[in-house]
Amino acid sequence: MDIFLIEHSGPLSGSVEISGAKNAALPVLAACLLTDDESVIEHVPRVTDVVTMTEILQVLGVTVGWDDETVTVRPDQFTGWTAPYELVSLMRASVCLLGPLLARQGRARVPMPGGCVIGQRPIELHLKGLEALGATITVEHGDIVARAERLRGTTVQLDGAHGSSVLATANVMMAATLADGETVIEHAAREPEVVDLANCLTAMGAKMTGHGSSLIRIEGVSRLHGTRHRIIPDRVEAGTLMIAAAMSRGAVNVHGAVAEHLGAVVEKLREAHVKIEPLDGGLRVQSDGNLNAVDVTTLPFPGFPTDLQAQITAMMTISQGVSLLTEKIYPERFMHVAELSRMGAQITREGATAVVKGVERLSGAPVVASDLRGAAALALAGLVADNHTELHGVEHLDRGYERFEQKLTRLGASIRRVRS
């Protein structure tokens, strides 16, 4: 296993380029199963979750080729319908294979998904949506088994206990493209990654309107064709690096950051006394280090993203005042709190809310990350902590950030990967 050795770093400065969005690339790659034709997907991040998805596609009989950040998918020999447990168990997003497999093969077997341990993330909305389209679904020996001779369009409600579901919306969208008749998805997720998938499906010949709103209409077609599609920039990576600049008293040009995808994040950073200005193709972030406490509640898009809750929690540990950070998407997503406390942070949990009292400085310590975004938060805390920090659990971070330490190093951070 690798670890990060992190030293207290000065202000980050310079420019950084944002990679393609992992959370957009995964369903787009799954969507390539919906046609026999070749598809070329550009701006794909080579992170472990995406590599795992390509390996699953290959097990299903799909030919996958990498050329730098471009992935070519040739599904003409695609005959499989069972995703392997040893790969699916590594990545929750593999559940988005259910819709394409069902639509193309009439059956799908996908083990219950794995990934980060951040509390319960039920998949009932996925199953509910596919059953509404006519699928019969059972759970056999830990596998989700779906069958349907023919999918039929209908009205699907995807409103869950914690709001809409991005992957459930993606699954139903993909399945509905080849279903008979019209499908109407109510309470659809509005995230940019859903819009990116919809744009890719439309380029493949799908008939779809309303993506980006809570009501999506899809008219099923008999077949889709291949396409060339470019993945959107990763808004979570952009937000993470923006927070890193703010915490370090830095001045960083974040190329690829899309303001429309980061509205709630920009608003909270400005409220915390961080200067953010548009620049050609991105955003410029400047901070004098005098950060104000802010209250944050995570919500579905366009609200503050749950995938940046841990990072802004790290920022609030060195801000002036008391912050309330409420997690409305995954109420148990606070594993990073105990490790930040080991570094001198003053944080208390009250149910789904973390109360953070800012301190003058953090102290470096050995810490262990147990999930992807928590790992990023601990790395950012290490950059501003006294002395040195030893971050274990880097494999979680590698699931979603491409060349994380190299990008920070080029901005002036002291962070080094070593084999433990």
Q: Alpha-carbon distance 283 to 266, whole Å? A: 10
User: What is the radius of gyration, based on Cα positions, of the chain?
Assistant: 21
Contact 189, 195 (CB under 8 A): no
- Other CB atoms within 10 A of residue 221 CB: 15
Which residues are registered as beta bridge partners of 254?
16, 283
| H or E, element range at 193 | helix 192-203
Q: Alpha-carbon distance 398 to 275, whole Å? A: 29
Strand order across the 107-111 sheet: 107-111, 143-147, 136-140
Where on the phi/psi map is residue 403: left (φ > 0), alpha (ψ -120 to 50), or beta? left
Q: Is 32 a catalytic residue?
A: no
User: What is the SS3 assignment for 21?
Assistant: coil
Half-sphere exposure (CA, 13 Å, Cβ side) for 70?
Answer: 8
Contact 66, 45 (CB under 8 A): no
Check 32, 96, 116, 200 and give the catalytic one: 116
Q: Which positions are catalytic?
A: 116
